[in-house]
Amino acid sequence: MPTDESSRVAVVTGGSRGIGRATARRLARDGVAVVVGYAGDRAEAEAAVREITGAGGRAVAVRADVADERAAAGLFDAAQSSFGGTDIVVHAAGKMGLAPVAELDLSVLDALYRTNVRGTFVVAQQAVRRMRDGGAIILFSSSVVGLAFPGYAAYSATKGAVEALTLVLARELRGRDISVNTVAPGPTATDLFFEGKDEETVSALAAQPPLERLGTPADIADVVAFLAGPGHWVNGQVLRANGGIV
């Protein structure tokens, strides 16, 4: 793996919006070249690339269904052809669907599983096969896995699967100097978080942490940037970046 930050390359899924976009900007600010992976919103992905390149960074946007192994491979193909390889993989793409267990449409469960579980596994598989030694893989869970909010059973179950994968994958990468960690944000001010929530619900969630505010995408991006950095001793962990919610 290159030791010079300006020679490192990251693939960031879900990079067109929210936490993924903030992470792409943060890594680019550190000198990392970024492949901005997106599912469908080309305009937002290209806007993210313009933000990065306008600030002097290097980035390209690539469309990919993360649950499709051929499409996911295309993210790494782009990293190779545009920047010479992959050193960091940040899998921020995800889907949310909320309903009590008794009322959940099973097609919603299938969609959550496909993106959050299969998609994570596919991206992790491609990362292991394609990235250079000495890098970092950062996956995403959610603090709702521990908080056990009613209505979040299906979503929490898919994120629990990501947490189960984390340490196993870290151990499978013994000898390659590649760390694997998962970030589990608490309530964070993204479009996905605000969707379907009234002002009272948002205020109640913001009041839960001792820091008494919602997280921001930049808060989470800073955590990712730390985990993506070379030479640290954090591996196989789930880091609950949630402002102190138990």
How far are the Cα atoms of 150, 156, 159, 200 from residue 197, in angstroms, in the given order? 14, 18, 21, 8
Total residue length of the chain: 246
Q: Comparing C-alpha atoms, which of 164, 145, 165, 166 is closest to residue 154?
A: 145
188-194-196-197 Cα dihedral, nearest 10 degrees: 80
Decide: 19 and 188 in contact? Cβ < 8 Å: yes
> CA-to-CA distance for 244 and 246, rounded, in angstroms?
6
Q: For the beta carbon of residue 80, count every other beta carbon within 10 angstroms.
A: 14
Q: Measured over all CA atoms, what is the biggest interatomic distance in the chain, rounded to whole angstroms?
A: 53
Q: Comparing C-alpha atoms, which of 17, 16, 49 is closest to residue 33?
A: 49
> CA-to-CA distance for 93 and 110, rounded, in angstroms?
16
Q: Comparing C-alpha atoms, which of 61, 88, 77, 74 is closest to residue 7?
A: 88
Q: Comparing C-alpha atoms, which of 188, 192, 191 is closest to residue 216?
A: 188
Q: Which two tokens stand for residue 53?
A: 């390149």
Q: Is 113 a catalytic residue?
A: no
SS3 91: strand
- Active-site option among 38, 113, 152, 155: 155
> Which residue numbers are catalytic?
155
